[in-house]
Amino acid sequence: MSTSNQLNRSLGLRLVIVMVIGNIIGSGVYKKVAPMTAELHSSGWVLICWILGGIITLFGALSNAEVAGLLADTGGEYTYYKKIYNRFFAYLYGWSQFTVIQTAAISSLAYVFAQSLNSIGPLPPLFAAYADFNIGGVFYPFVDFQVKLTAIILILLLTWLNTQGIRAGAGVSTGILILVFSGIFIIIFFGLSSGTGAGFRNITLATPSVSPVTVTTVFTALLSAFWAYQGWAAIGFVGGEVKEPHRTIPRGIAIG
């Protein structure tokens, strides 16, 4: 490959850490506490599942970081599978990512954002007269169409921003990360300054007798925690644009 065709390795450790954290911390922090609480009915058990999910995720992240350090290149897991297994296995994984995994994740995140935006300030309804139109009695394309359209516009906007270069994408990640952290700190501030004086006394492992904690409920709650923690592997997709990737990517994933 000629030098002119090689990607510019411009991402240092700081931006790698920002991208890892930015891909992890998002809607899951706000949206997944409720379903976890609905399963466990205990603030203490919810906290345990967050910690347990974080530990398991850390093991996966460190394993991925080791592979990323050895096989640092653009493409992430696709590249790893191609080099470790074969082209066919990587081909199947690549198409799975495109048609199911990333498609579902991106659309879900965009829809959650649009739903939250609609809750803060109701979006003007669109095609409300066609709300009863359905396909097979299952799919209602025009129900909450304004929310769906907002999600589509968001995906198109972020896609366009990412085509403007790695620096633009990293800048957007930094801005979003600042907003998310600001929201978290605001919640913490108002929680600590509420004046109730309850402290940690509300954290309890006690559950209602009709809703005991079981292995099934813990695993179900962990699924929500894993959703909130996912995203740390995304830095592998831009491995070809990271400075000293064999050192920077593992450190960035571990720290992030």
What pLDDT, on the 0 to 100 scale, is given for residue 19?
78
pTM above 0.85, yes or no: no
Residue type, 72: A
Number of domains in the chain: 1
What pLDDT, on the 0 to 100 scale, is given for residue 12?
80
What pLDDT, on the 0 to 100 scale, is given for residue 231?
77
* Consecutive 10-residue averages of pLDDT for the chain (256 residues): 58 81 75 85 87 89 80 79 89 90 86 88 87 84 90 92 77 79 80 64 68 86 86 76 80 80
What pLDDT, on the 0 to 100 scale, is given for residue 149?
93
- C-alpha neighbours within 13 Å on the C-beta side of residue 16: 29
What pLDDT, on the 0 to 100 scale, is given for residue 34?
84
Q: What is the pLDDT of residues 149-176, one digit of tens each?
A: 999 999 999 888 878 877 777 777 778 7
What pLDDT, on the 0 to 100 scale, is given for residue 201?
64
Query: What's the domain range around 105?
Result: 3-255
DSSP state letter for 239: G
Q: How far is CA 226 from CA 28, 182, 207, in A?
A: 9, 23, 23
What pLDDT, on the 0 to 100 scale, is given for residue 52?
93
What pLDDT, on the 0 to 100 scale, is given for residue 209?
66
Domain harbouring 8, CATH code: 1.20.1740.10
Q: b/e for 135-168, b at 16 or more Cβ within 10 A?
A: eeeeeeebebbbbbebbeebbeebeeeeeeebee
